[in-house]
């Protein structure tokens, strides 16, 4: 198949209009129609049908569009990676990460990277579900993501996943809380408390439901400063990941008695020619994660976490 025809078909398929696709591609409408017609003759199949309200993809068209999107994505990534190569080794390294990693892991890793590679220019950006697409487009060179450990392993298409560690969650309480002197806190004993969580159906709510109660959510936010302030004033309780142990050192952090939720933190890398600083950046992330996990061990005082490059697990007594 001739790539230009495939990409022309892609524009028509997304626009559901020959005229709008022609505008997008800066071509004449007859030229666009002709390229799609030639592609259909070459394949021996109709790709588009006219329907009320616009064009409709045939089954063959749906199959080809999936591949056309992948081709366009790789062209965009190639363009971005070549631009970086032309700019030279000192081009900016662009890292995307979820909010908790940006609060603790990523800044310390960048400082470590700059110590070993002076003059490094790094741009960081927050992201969650959009990180894979931004890597595939070339907008990011490296991403730090997570998933709940209990869920099936996530392998974003076209990207390489590098596992970093498994992270436990712990209970965060105000210093004067009635359970502050406990060495471990059963979640069921917090059923009557007001809670803060990042969402109404995420890991924290799931852990509470597994403990037999529906948490009374009075705060739904990802802002760690806001969460810490609410807890410090005794207004809410919550679960915090071990990466935030140092940032939350003014609070009472306790292991969860019984089964505790965990999440897997991992790096995502794009295919093709990677930025030359991706490898040393990953080394810096690994080293920083080990340090932060060590800080978490000191905060918790019990249930130490053993970190290795492929994951973390509780040490057994």
Instruction: State pLDDT tens for residues 200-221.
Output: 988 999 999 999 999 999 999 9
Q: Please give the sequence-ordered ranges of beta strands (E in DSSP) within 157-235, or none if there are none.
A: 160-173, 194-197, 216-220
Q: Which of 7, 115, 13 is nearest to 56 (CA)?
A: 13
As a whole number of angstroms, the distance between CA 150 and CA 242 comes to 17
Report the range of poorest mean pLDDT among 23-27, 52-56, 195-199, 229-233. Answer: 52-56
Instruction: Flag whether pLDDT at 198 surpasses 60.
Output: yes
Whether 310 shows a pLDDT value over 50: the answer reads no
Pick the last residue of a domain from 86, 118, 138.
Answer: 86
The secondary structure element, H or E, covering residue 136 is helix 131-136
For residue 303, pLDDT over 90 is answered with no
Q: Per the structure block, which two tokens stand in for 225? A: 């400063």
The yes-or-no verdict on residue 316 having pLDDT over 50 is: no
What residues make up the domain containing 36? 3-86
The DSSP letter of residue 304 is: -
pLDDT at 292 over 80: no
Same domain, 198 and 313: yes
Query: Residue 12 above 70 pLDDT?
Result: yes
Both 33 and 146 in one domain: the answer is no
Cα–Cα distance between 272 and 75 in angstroms, integer? Answer: 11
Q: What is the pLDDT of residue 176?
A: 92
CATH of the domain at 168: 3.40.190.290
What is the C-alpha end-to-end distance of the chain, expressed in Å?
A: 62
Cβ-count burial of 163 within 10 angstroms (0-12 exposed, 13-18 middle, 19+ buried)?
middle
Nearest residue to 70 via CA among 131, 158, 185? 158
What is the domain-level CATH number for residue 68?
Answer: 1.10.10.10
Instruction: Answer yes or no: are the C-beta atoms of 236 and 243 closer than 8 Å.
Output: no
d(CA 73, CA 80): 11
45 strand-pairing partners: none
* pLDDT score for 232: 95
Which of 182, 168, 172 has the alpha carbon at shortest distance from 311?
Answer: 168
Find out whether 166 and 312 touch, Cβ atoms under 8 Å: yes
Q: What domain count does the chain have?
A: 2
pLDDT at position 313 over 60 = no
* Token pair listed for 164: 């970093």
Nearest in space to 239 (alpha carbons), one of 213, 265, 215: 215
Q: Sort residue 24 into left (φ over 0), alpha (ψ -120 to 50) or beta.
A: alpha
* 73 and 138 fall within a common domain: no
Q: pLDDT at position 27, please?
A: 85
Q: Do 163 and 228 fall within a single domain?
A: yes
| Overall average pLDDT of the 101-130 stretch | 91
Q: Does residue 85 or residue 242 have the better pLDDT?
A: 242
Radius of gyration from C-alpha coordinates of the chain: 25
Say yes or no: 29 and 133 in one domain.
no
Is residue 228 within 8 Å of 173, Cβ to Cβ?
no
Cα–Cα nearest to 6, from 81, 77, 70: 70
**b/e map of 183-218 (b: 16 or more CB within 10 Å)?**
ebbebeebeebbbbbbeeeebbbebbeebeeebebe
Q: Does residue 315 register a pLDDT over 70? A: no
177 pLDDT above the threshold of 80 = yes
Answer yes or no: do 197 and 317 share one domain: yes
Q: What is the pLDDT of residues 52-89, one digit of tens each?
A: 777 889 999 899 999 988 888 888 878 877 776 666 54
302 — pLDDT class (breaks 50, 70, 90): very low
Q: Is the pLDDT of residue 239 over 80?
A: yes
* C-alpha–C-alpha distance, residues 317 and 307, integer Å: 16
Residue 28: burial class (beta carbons within 10 Å; 0-12, 13-18, 19+): exposed
Q: Does the pTM exceed 0.75? A: no
pLDDT on residue 296: 52
Please identify, among 86, 107, 140, the residue that sits at the C-terminal boundary of a domain: 86
Q: What is the pLDDT at residue 295?
A: 59
Chain mean pLDDT for the chain: 86
Percent of the chain with pLDDT over 70: 90
- Residue at which a domain ends, from 47, 69, 86: 86
């Amino acid at each position: 198949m001739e790539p230009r025809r495939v990409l022309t078909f892609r524009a028509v398929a997304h626009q559901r209009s020959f005229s709008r696709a022609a505008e997008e591609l800066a071509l004449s409408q007859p030229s666009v129609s002709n390229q799609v017609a030639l592609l259909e003759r070459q394949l021996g199949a109709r790709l588009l049908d006219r329907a009320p309200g616009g064009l409709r993809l045939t089954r063959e068209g749906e199959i080809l569009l999936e591949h056309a999107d992948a081709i366009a994505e790789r062209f965009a990534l190639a363009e971005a990676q070549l631009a970086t190569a032309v700019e030279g080794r000192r081009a900016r390294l662009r890292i995307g990460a979820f909010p908790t990693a940006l609060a603790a892991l990523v800044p310390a890793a960048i400082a470590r990277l700059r110590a070993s590679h002076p003059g490094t220019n790094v741009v960081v950006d927050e992201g969650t579900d959009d990180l894979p697409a931004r890597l595939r487009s070339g907008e990011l060179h490296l991403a730090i993501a997570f998933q709940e450990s209990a869920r099936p392993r996530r392998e974003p298409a076209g990207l390489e996943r590098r596992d970093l560690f498994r992270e436990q969650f712990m209970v965060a309480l105000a210093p004067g809380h009635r359970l502050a002197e406990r060495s471990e806190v059963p979640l069921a004993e917090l059923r009557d408390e007001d809670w803060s969580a990042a969402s109404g159906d995420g890991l924290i709510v799931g852990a509470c439901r597994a403990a037999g109660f529906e948490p009374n959510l009075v705060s739904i936010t990802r802002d760690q400063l806001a969460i810490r302030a609410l807890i410090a004033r005794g207004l809410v309780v919550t679960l915090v990941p071990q990466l935030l142990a140092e940032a939350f050192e003014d609070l009472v952090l306790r292991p969860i008695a019984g089964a505790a939720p965990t999440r897997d933190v991992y790096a995502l890398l794009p295919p093709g020619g990677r930025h030359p600083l991706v490898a040393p950046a990953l080394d810096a992330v690994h080293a920083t994660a080990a340090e932060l996990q060590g800080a978490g061990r000191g905060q918790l005082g019990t249930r130490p976490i053993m970190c290795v490059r492929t994951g973390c697990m509780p040490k057994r007594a």
